[in-house]
A and B are shown apart, each in its own frame.
Chain A
Amino acid sequence: MSTTLTPPPKKVNRIGLEVANYKGAKTTLCAGCGHNAISERIIESFYELGVQPWSVAKFSGIGCSSKSPAYFLGLSHGFNGVHGRMPSVATGAMLANRNLLGIGATGDGDTASIGLGQFMHLLRRNLPFIYIIEDNGVYGLTKGQFSATADLGSKLKTGVINDLPPFDCCSLALQCGATFVARSFSGDKKQFQTILKTAIAHNGLSVIDVISPCTTFNDHEGSTKSYSYVKEHDELLNEIDFVPFYDDISVEIAEGEVQEVEMHDGSKLRIKKLGRDYDPSNKFDALKAIDEAGKKGEVLTGVFYVETNKPNFMDLLNVEEAPLATLPESKVRPPKEALDQVMEELR
């Protein structure tokens, strides 16, 4: 046995990177903010799956949630755009380079109010992209006004009661074309991580609504987006497990009522039904389940819908596999003969 002290080998993932390579800048969000937990899960998931950080592009809009991309994946390019318009910026970037793995972090203000139009059209296009809504039902940076996902009857710190019905972003996503739709809770580490990993493996648009309580403006008695409310009312739709394509050992869910969905890259999402008769390939089941849970005041979480063989936006556009951004001039500037031909026709 050697007596020299060697530091223990650093833990690395399958591409030889440490978890530190997936971290970002130090967060400037409030202590206890759900968004920080979301950033942590993103760091872990990308690390554990061995995603190359510089193949990722991060996007956000404006608001507390939209600050968070600075706090994860520091080796990935990031783009903090304008309020509510993250989908268009992300779409443009993905068109320019379809090999990028795109992930967006936005909030409920971004998604359900100022950017509702862009969100809806993103859904239509089935862009291969991970769209995370850090949903706290409140505007944080402007100090605590209701957002459009605030539940009917939910109360602000000032005592104001919300009297308008919320947009349910998952229901919208289901109706308008997203091909992977899930809801989670920033406090449910395992569920959210499994959903995230599935989204990373998915070849289409993933919409993940993460209830992420605002400790400063919306974590009080009477709020339906507080930690305690969500913990008490979190109703699991299903139990899920993710088996990456390079690994077929770690099966946590026992055999039984398990449905296995094979993702584009060969990874598997294993879904175990929890009592109810639910089919994640049927979006009407999902809409019904969300509606019923909402009426009971429950926060239904889990994988609502997954569809793995719908053509994505790039396929529809028949875009070249190599990034458009860096195609050589010989590919993008037609030869002189082409121009001469057009000129001749116009004479």
Chain B
Amino acid sequence: MSTIEVSPASPRSGEFQQPVVNDFSIQVATINGSGSQTANSVLMRAIFQMGIPVSGKNMFPSNIQGLPTWFTIRASKYGYIGRKKEVDFLVAMNPETAREDVMKLDRGAAVVYDEPLKLDALRSDLHFYPVPFDKLVGPVCPEAKLRKLVRNMIYDGIVAHLVSIDMEEIHSALFKQFGKKKAKAAELNWGACQAGFDYAAKTFTKSDPYRVKRMNATAGKIIIDGNAAAALGCVFAGATVVIWYPITPSSSLVESMIGYLKRFRIDKETGKATYAVVQAEDELSAIGMVLGAGWAGARSVTSTAGPGISLMSEFVGLGYYAEIPAVIFDVQRVGPSTGLPTRTAQGDIISTALLSHGDTKHPILFPCSPEECFSMAIGAFDLAEQFQTPVFVLTDLDLGMNNWMAEPFEYPAKPMNRGKVLTAEDLDRLGGFARYKDVDGDGVGYRTLPGTPHPQAAYFTRGSGHNEKAQYTEREDDYVHNMDRLAHKFETLRAHVPPPVVDYNPKADIGFVAFGTSHYPAQESRDQLKSEFGIETSYLRLRAYPFTPEVRDFVRRHKRIYVIEQNRDEQMLSLMRLEFDAEDIAKLRSMKYYGGLPLDARTVTDDVVHQEEK
């Protein structure tokens, strides 16, 4: 796979331009709260419906209304769905940022803009398309109040004309977006789209090279955001107790889940819910309820972001030490502290892996796609119950909140694994049990659930020192024995987390290690390195912590390893350092980015080339 380098064309009319088909990005700059989300989603979906691989990334402020927001749509015939650094086609709707947005463009880019902004005066090396939005919106939207919202749909029509998006696809995407219940609103918006299209058709002569052309690369695929995918995963995992405290960017995970639960998890016979969702007073309470429910045998889950993880610290240590199943989604955002709440990062790796005081460590799953958000949600519940411990699923704002093109999800093939739970009949047979005794040699004890009708079922769960029988102890030997068993359990777990996905290239000296959303720039950068610099790479996509043996093998097979991650402190690389030998550690190099935008391939390529030259 290789990218074709296209020199930006001069905007001067008459000059021959090589068309750039299905390989460019459109950026729409608007104002938060102006209804642009609908217009942008329709544009993205219309391209998707034309069979062209597409991605959409919303860069929005921590604000309800009034601050600038950017939405980038990337069409890529190669199937690249990571962020593209360069903007090829700008729709400048926000007077506050328009000037800076235009100045940042590469030569040859196209700009659709609100005519009064007079942006064409700024540069002579761009293609400008001025549109009198206010004049166009009046006739299509008689109700003045709605004009602010409908106005944005006009640019869908303009862009559709300029880059050859089929208006029928715009129409179908628009009506899908609004749904049957809002057909009237859809009609109003469709009128705006058409007005835009007609205006562009009669006014503009196309001078930029960017256009789309129907393909057949999205058939059967779906569009969904990672949070909704994770929510579906929880619903199909049989989650029964769902506790949350609203926090960006994770709120929509539970909000989506509530929708699906209401739809699929009301018992038809009793009319009662087979779940409980509680909005807790804070994240401390959320994790407390999750642990209480997990202890009592429910599949319980919470979803949060970095600040919530910090608050959950003490309780998660209790979950580890008292050995209680729990699933915790962390949709990462930029920290530390409040940080940049609406920007993306992979900065909670170390804090979740080692969350809480004392010796603690926790398994983490790293989905990179909606499909994995779904499947790993299901896997996380099995893992949590099998190993009786809190399990983290780390996504990020980019994966969680943006819409992604994805393969349809596969229905779970295996039944739920509820782990080692003794029933009253088991206790009759066994004549009792010791909660924390390693009977099977895997470090995992047997538990009973409260309510088990048997005089030998009860045990006392505590976060204080305990022996095999769950009795209070401060004895040195009891404590060490228990901690060693917990360490052994973690080692057993290593063989049960999802293994990495490895693409071993025998010609490569260097190997990439990426995870989560760093996958997309890593993949694309490998192609750039090969086609532009002749650099061969292997690739390992991590899917879990603790690391499986494949990770060490991969390191050993290469001279240099680039660990690609979105945080300042090389957190994943640091975790690898904790486990690897000095010889392996010496091979590790960091490719890191922490600016809050989704990492793009060009940044990876530039950095790696620079480091390779050293």
Q: Report which A residues bind B (CB closer than 8 A).
A: 21, 25, 52-55, 57, 59, 69-70, 74-82, 85, 87-97, 99-100, 117-118, 120-121, 317-321, 323-327, 329, 331-334, 336, 338-340, 342-343, 346-347
CB proximity to A under 8 Å, residues B299-345: 299-300, 314-315, 318
CB closest residue in chain B, given A85? B288
Given known contacts A320-B273, A332-B240, A347-B220, A82 and B281 CB-to-CB distance under 8 angstroms = no
> A57 touches which one: B282, B412, B451 (CB < 8 A)?
B451
Tell me, yes or no, whether B445 is within 8 Å of chain A by CB: no
Given known contacts A118-B288, A321-B272, A339-B236, A93 and B455 CB-to-CB distance under 8 angstroms = no
Tell me, yes or no, whether B458 is within 8 Å of chain A by CB: yes
Contact with A along B545-561 (1 / 0, CB 8 A): 00000000000000000
The 5 lowest CB-CB distance pairs between A and B, nearest first, are A92-B292, A88-B288, A325-B297, A96-B298, A92-B289
| Interface bin, chain B | 35 or more
**Contacting pair A82 B318 (CB below 8 A):** yes
A327–B267 Cα distance when bound, in Å, is 11
Tell me, yes or no, whether B24 is within 8 Å of chain A by CB: no
Tell me, yes or no, whether B415 is within 8 Å of chain A by CB: yes
CB closest residue in chain A, given B453? A54
A334–B296 Cα distance when bound, in Å, is 22
**9 A-B pairs with C-beta separation under 8 A:** A54-B450, A70-B472, A77-B448, A89-B291, A92-B290, A332-B238, A339-B236, A340-B411, A343-B408
Tell me, yes or no, whether B293 is within 8 Å of chain A by CB: yes
> 14 new A-B pairs (CB below 8 Å) besides A332-B265, A334-B235?
A54-B452, A54-B454, A55-B453, A88-B280, A88-B288, A88-B292, A92-B295, A92-B300, A95-B276, A118-B288, A319-B272, A323-B297, A324-B275, A333-B236
CB proximity to A under 8 Å, residues B394-414: 408-409, 411-412
Chain B residues, Cβ within 8 Å of A99: 451
**Contacting pair A324 B288 (CB below 8 A):** no
Given known contacts A91-B289, A336-B411, A80 and B461 CB-to-CB distance under 8 angstroms = yes
Interface segment out of the listed B55-63, B162-170, B221-229, B589-597:
B221-229
Most interface-central of B286, B408, B415, B450 (chain A CB within 10 A): B450
**Contacting pair B296 A100 (CB below 8 A):** yes
B440–chain A nearest beta-carbon distance, Å: 23
Given known contacts A54-B455, A80-B464, A333 and B238 CB-to-CB distance under 8 angstroms = yes
**Contacting pair A77 B416 (CB below 8 A):** no
CB closest residue in chain B, given A52? B453
A99–B452 Cα distance when bound, in Å, is 11
Chain A residues, Cβ within 8 Å of B296: 57, 92-94, 96-97, 100, 323, 325
Contact with A along B453-496 (1 / 0, CB 8 A): 11101111111100000011000000000000000000000000
Chain B residues, Cβ within 8 Å of A343: 222, 408-409
Most interface-central of A81, A92, A321, A324 (chain B CB within 10 A): A92
CB closest residue in chain B, given A323? B451
Q: Report which B residues bind A (CB closer than 8 A).
A: 220-224, 232, 235-241, 243, 260, 263-265, 267, 270-278, 280-282, 284-300, 314-315, 318, 408-409, 411-412, 415-416, 448-455, 457-464, 471-472
**Contacting pair A79 B461 (CB below 8 A):** yes
Chain A residues, Cβ within 8 Å of B454: 54
B172–chain A nearest beta-carbon distance, Å: 11
> A320 touches which one: B274, B285, B450 (CB < 8 A)?
B274
Chain B residues, Cβ within 8 Å of A94: 292, 296
Most interface-central of A52, A75, A80 (chain B CB within 10 A): A80
A58–chain B nearest beta-carbon distance, Å: 8
**Contacting pair A92 B274 (CB below 8 A):** no
**Contacting pair B415 A329 (CB below 8 A):** yes
Chain A residues, Cβ within 8 Å of B318: 81-82
CB closest residue in chain B, given A83? B314
B427–chain A nearest beta-carbon distance, Å: 11
CB closest residue in chain A, given B271? A318
**Contacting pair B292 A79 (CB below 8 A):** yes
> B292 touches which one: A89, A120, A323 (CB < 8 A)?
A89
A342–B223 Cα distance when bound, in Å, is 11
A319–B264 Cα distance when bound, in Å, is 14
A57–B292 Cα distance when bound, in Å, is 11
**Contacting pair B241 A324 (CB below 8 A):** yes
> B222 touches which one: A21, A69, A91, A347 (CB < 8 A)?
A347
A104–chain B nearest beta-carbon distance, Å: 11
